[in-house]
Structure 1
Amino acid sequence: MKIIVLVKQVPDTWGDRTLDLRTGWLDRVSSDCVIDEINERALEVALSYQDSNDAEVVALTMGPDSAKDMLRKALAMGADSAIHLLDGGLAGADLLRTSEVIAAAATKAGFDLIIAGNESTDGRGGTLPSLIAGRLGVAQATYLDSVVITTDAVSGHRATENGSMTVHAQLPAVVSVTEQSAEPRFPNFKGIMRAKKKPVTVWSLADLGLEATSASAHSVITQTSPRPARVAGTKIVDHGNAGVELAEFLAAGRLI
């Protein structure tokens, strides 16, 4: 079985994240960039299956040249190889363009199962796995809290507002996992050393047979402004009428 795991380089969630007010895009230079934690969980699902089954695990990312460092961590965790979609024409690509490119790469590489996180911590679109499944014409099972993989199918539990459901699909398929899924393993020294010898394939748009421009290539940001400075909140001191003041404050904010 060949499993492709989608991984993404994102600004560290423990650091400050800001917008580039000139482009309107997230400023990825001013903070440390790491592999998205939800992608580590997706990778763990694949590696856990590989631990006891015959499977090839490929980490795939679309991003700038610096993303190669993040791919090395995926390889150190246990992925067999990596694919880096690298092309200047992909800067600022929106979800439609991203799904187009990743679907083309998955088709070129071949796959039985694609595993992704439910949403990235920078964009939080939450629709990329479904878009990819739609372009590939395969089944999808998204937002899974747990995943069970067999030789010809995948299943898992999905939480809903009214409870939970068990979903399943025949392979090939695309699934996405939530933060309730597998806890990711840490790379050990042997894994880090092996990662240096594992292959990383770099593909451009031309390699995928795609045009450098596309009608769905980019989102258009018309205006940006810095976040306003935080102001002090309303402070209520009890002089015997604090209850009334609190009720009036909540009523003014239409909270009661």
Structure 2
Amino acid sequence: MTKIVVAVKYVPDATADRTFNSDNTVDRENVDGLLSELDEYAVEQALQVVEAGEGEVTVVTVGPEDAADAVRKALQMGADAGVHVVDDAIHGSDAFATSLVLAEAIKKIEYDLVFFGMGSTDGGLGVVPTLVAERLGLPAVTFGSELTVDGDTVKIVRDGDVATQEIEATGPLVVSVTDQTDEARYPSFKGIMAAKKKPVETWSLSDLGLDAGDVGLDAAWTKVESFEPRPPRTAGEIVTDEGDGGTKLAEFLASKKFV
């Protein structure tokens, strides 16, 4: 039986009007949130692995109370159980602190493989999978556009700018997949109803043996110094073609240094 842990993140909706709090952290309370689209690919790959054989999928997230929605969505897709790490002290944590919390949570879960998406839509760093792998003392195969699991052997295809690599490793290990893998399934009505009965544990920092000083904004290695709202869009310029439309277009492109 293959046991897979999938780390997922609750992120602000990319189509919403996102902003920052007064402490320069992302405002997650006054905007709709959802399971990160990039993490849905990781959930989908984990489900395919267990459906091809035998196993179970546990999703784990770190975030505020509303982050339970990310766990719920993964359970509706077909995951078997969930873990939600929530603690006020986690607010403002950077990638390093997040990886610490995730690693300590994953240590408490039985697993053979740990899956991640390629990054988060609100941060986009893409380094957390490797940081977690280091903390767990595991190898990491990352940015897989294709994934094959055969027993304890994992193979990925990684597409680079100038070459495509085929990488093979033996579990236990950490895997991250890109949005080039199979599209994530939509939760069915049956899956939505079944998710209500699936177990979800809620853990605090003390449950993980962590101190509040290990995480949060004060412990962050990186911080946002300032931010400015994006300027509103201005009306475009309409050029009436009176036989010189081509010239006017060329002049416009030249003024913007496009040509």
- Judge same fold: TM > 0.5, yes or no: yes
Partners of 1:9 and 1:190 in 2: CA distance: 23
Q: State the percentage of identical aligned residues.
A: 42
Change (3 A) 1:218 1:68: farther
Q: Which residue of 1 aligns with 2:228?
A: 225
Q: Write the deviation string for residues 46-66 of structure 1: whole angstroms up to 9, x where unpaired.
A: 111111312121001001111
Q: Write the deviation string for residues 96-149 of structure 1: whole angstroms up to 9, x where unpaired.
A: 110111111112223211111101111111211122112222111111111111
Aligned residues: 255
Unpaired runs of 5+ residues, structure 1, are none
Partners of 1:225 and 1:189 in 2: CA distance: 42
Partners of 2:141 and 2:237 in 1: CA distance: 46
Partners of 2:30 and 2:241 in 1: CA distance: 45
Q: Which residue of 1 aligns with 2:10?
A: 9
Deviates more, 1:25-34 or 1:241-250: 241-250
Q: Which residue of 2 aligns with 1:194?
A: 194
Q: Which residue of 1 aligns with 2:25?
A: 25
Q: Which residue of 2 aligns with 1:156?
A: 156
Output the amino acid matched with 1:250.
Answer: L
Matches within 5 A, 1:99-248: 99-214=99-214, 216-217=219-220, 219-248=222-251
Q: Write the deviation string for residues 75-109 of structure 1: whole angstroms up to 9, x where unpaired.
A: 12211111111111111111111011111111222
Deviates more, 1:239-248 or 1:32-41: 239-248
Contact preservation (8 Å) 1:17, 1:26: no
Displacement of 1:178 = 1.3
Stretches (4+) displaced over 6 A: none
Displacement of 1:239 = 4.2
Change (3 A) 1:244 1:190: closer
Partners of 1:21 and 1:201 in 2: CA distance: 29
Deviates more, 1:17-26 or 1:205-214: 17-26
Contact preservation (8 Å) 1:2, 1:110: yes
Provide the TM-score with structure 2 as the length reference: 0.89
Q: Which residue of 1 aligns with 2:256?
A: 253
Contact preservation (8 Å) 1:118, 1:176: yes
Contact preservation (8 Å) 1:93, 1:219: no
SS at 1:99's partner residue? helix
Matches within 5 A, 1:40-59: 40-59=40-59
Deviates more, 1:210-219 or 1:163-172: 210-219
Contact preservation (8 Å) 2:138, 2:173: yes
Displacement of 1:226 = 1.8
Unpaired runs of 5+ residues, structure 2, are none
Contact preservation (8 Å) 1:41, 1:183: yes
Deviates more, 1:15-24 or 1:139-148: 15-24
